[in-house]
Amino acid sequence: MATALRDEPEFGFEQLMDLCGIDYLHYGVDQWTTRKATGVGFSRGVERKEVILDESDEFDAHRFAVIYHLLSIQHNYRLRLKVYTGTGNPPMVPSVVSVWNSANWFEREAFDLFGILFEGHPDLRRILTDYGFIGHPFRKDFPISCNVEVHYDAEKGRVVYQPVSIEPRTLVPKVIRDDNRYAAETGDEPDRG
């Protein structure tokens, strides 16, 4: 399909502008509870469901996707193409490096950060994380704080690995305050004294 998008005269998408990976693991799941939901704002369209991390050999068919942003200079068209990776573990899609050479680094980045394999890629290796790095940091089930942290110790004159010294925290509101901010919604007059 990629060659048709590039070579067919009615399409003519001769340039790949961007390629990125997406993890939809927690898509549509809210992070906190409120007293009432509204039809506008952040909470619209959110369905409550329990998230269970998938440790099996297969993923949900719509968990991982690769997004391609294409440009047709001759027609002045832009196209966003979304390709889901399917249920395989590891997630995999065909490489488009042979069609658009600019996909080389983009595919390596998606591989490194999301763990998406690109079948037929000429040089699929890590590009942003260290060679010994374990895991893929942009996956939604990647731990926010790892087991070790790294820093340079001037006394020892070398890099030192030590257990993580920070506590994980969630930066979303957990409490609805009962003060005059919500007076207009309840019909009460705010205290102006």
Residue pLDDT, tens place only, 147-193: 677 888 899 999 888 877 766 666 665 555 666 665 665 555 555 55
State the Cα–Cα distance between residues 137 and 72, nearest whole angstrom. 33
Domains of the chain: 2-141 (3.30.460.80)
Q: For residue 84, which of 103, 51, 60, 52 has the smallest C-alpha distance?
A: 60
Residues 129 and 142 sit within 8 Å (Cβ to Cβ): no
Per DSSP, which regions of 120-165 are E strands? 148-153, 158-163
Q: Tokens at residue 5, please?
A: 């998008």
For the stretch 33-57, pLDDT in tens is: 555 555 554 444 445 444 444 455 7
Kindly state the DSSP code that residue 81 receives in the 8-state scheme.
Answer: E
What is the distance between the alpha carbons of residues 23 and 64, in angstroms, rounded to a whole number? 5
pLDDT for the residue 45: 47
